[in-house]
Amino acid sequence: MVDLPAWALQVMVEIAAVAAIPGSVTDRAQALMEPLRRITHYDGAFITLFDAERRRHVPLVRRGFEAAHRYLDSPALVTDLERMDLHGSHRPLRVSDLTPLPDELPLWAEHLYPAGYREGLGSGLFTADGRFLGLFTVNTADPRPASESTCAVLHMAMPLIARAVDPLRTLSALASLMTDATAGVVVSRGGDTTVLPGLPGHALLAPRGPVLTAALARLANRQIRTAFLCRHDDPGMDDAPLLARVTALACPPQPASPAQVVVLLSPPPPLHGLTARELQVLGLLVEGCSPAHIAAALDVTTRTVAAHLDDIMAKLDTPSRTVAAMRAQRQGLFIPADLQH
pLDDT in tens, 290-310: 999 999 999 999 999 999 999
State yes or no: pLDDT of 221 exceeds 80: no
188 in helix, strand or coil?
A: strand
Return the CATH fold of 6-166.
Beta-Lactamase (3.30.450)
Q: What is the pLDDT of residue 86?
A: 85
Mean pLDDT across 77-99: 88
Residues of the chain with CATH 3.30.450.40: 6-166
Mean pLDDT across 48-70: 88
pLDDT interval class at 99 (50, 70, 90): confident
State yes or no: pLDDT of 235 exceeds 70: no
Query: Does the N-terminal peptide bond of residue 100 adopt cis geometry, omega within 30 degrees of 0?
Result: yes
Higher pLDDT, 239 or 11: 11
State yes or no: pLDDT of 233 exceeds 80: no
State yes or no: pLDDT of 239 exceeds 50: no
**Exposed (0-12), middle (13-18) or buried (19+): which is 14, by Cβ within 10 Å?**
middle
**Would you tell me which CATH number, out of the four given (1.10.3720.10, 1.10.8.420, 3.30.1600.10, 1.10.10.10), belongs to the domain 170-339?**
1.10.10.10
User: Mean pLDDT of all residues in the chain?
Assistant: 89
Q: pTM here?
A: 0.72
State yes or no: pLDDT of 236 exceeds 60: no
Q: Are 15 and 21 in contact (CB under 8 A)?
A: no
Residues of the chain with CATH 1.10.10.10: 170-339
99 in helix, strand or coil?
A: coil
Bridge pairing between strands 225-232 and 119-126: unpaired
User: What is the spatial order of strands in the sheet that 44-51 belongs to?
Assistant: 56-63, 44-51, 132-140, 119-126, 93-94
Of 277, 333, 329, 331, nearest in space to 307 by CA: 277
Q: What is the pLDDT of residue 103?
A: 84
Q: Which residues of 271-308 are buried (b: 16+ CB within 10 A; e: fewer)?
A: eeebeeebbbbbbbbbbebebebbbebbeeeeebbeeb
Q: Are 102 and 108 in contact (CB under 8 A)?
A: yes
